Amino acid sequence: MEIWRNRLQELMDARGLTQAAFVSELNKQYLSRFHQKDVSRWLNSGNKASAGTIGFPKYETMTMIADFFGVDVGYLTGETDETSFDLEHASAYLGMSGESVSALREWIIGEDADSQMRNYRSETLNALFASPKFASVASKLLTLHEMSTLWKSNPERFNTLMESLASDSDLPDDLTFQLIIGAFYGMASESFSTLLKDAYPTPTEQTTA
């Protein structure tokens, strides 16, 4: 019940909804007849009252509230930490965060896109990730991520690594560091360019018979 209270409040806050505004929009969307005192009771589920402990609202009401905010009831009750079970399963299967999976989905099914555009956006990403060149780019990104993580979490170790790589250089350390880092970014950019040409070939990239 504590999770229910907290997440309902968080969803209201994210939309900038007061209790009165929330119940007004809820009634307007679902033709229901709730009052502000109902919202107050929902936000106090599990707390003690003169008549006893305040319980959950009816499941039909919980379903309505979840639909209003675009989440699953399971998210509101703490059965999943993702906004939906589908998102939880997709995140677990891909090994990615719910935030990352949601970002991809939101781009594909954006409110400005009709069904044809959504299919086209999906095909665009499919071509990118299904390209045999993707693994090469991902390995370069992994190196950049490792370097960035090391630099942020352990600057001294990062500098030691850079000094080791630059030990044979006659250039100043700062310049050598920049050249080494630039080389890593350059390799990643080159691999990404190759990936783009493979995923989205143009006439200039195709071999003529």
pLDDT at 178 (0 to 100) = 83
pTM for the structure as a whole = 0.74
pLDDT at 205 (0 to 100) = 58
**What span, in angstroms and rounded, lies between the C-alpha atoms of 192 and 187?**
9
Residue-by-residue pLDDT tens, the chain, 209 positions: 999 999 999 999 999 999 999 999 999 999 999 999 999 999 999 888 877 888 899 999 999 999 999 999 999 999 999 999 999 999 999 999 999 999 999 899 887 778 899 999 999 999 999 999 999 999 999 989 998 999 899 989 888 887 787 777 777 767 777 888 888 899 899 999 999 999 999 887 555 54
**What span, in angstroms and rounded, lies between the C-alpha atoms of 162 and 177?**
6
pLDDT at 206 (0 to 100) = 57
Architecture of domain 2-79: Orthogonal Bundle (1.10)
For residue 87, give every residue at least 6 positions away whose Cβ sits within 8 Å of its Cβ, in sequence order, or none: 98, 101, 102
SS (H, E, C) 102-156: HHHHHHHCCCCCCHHHHHHHHHHHHHHHHCCCHHHHHHHHHHHHHHHHHHHHCHH
pLDDT at 6 (0 to 100) = 95
Q: Where are the domains of the chain?
A: 2-79, 134-203
Q: What angle is formed at CA 87 by the lines to CA 109 and CA 153, rounded to 5 degrees?
A: 105
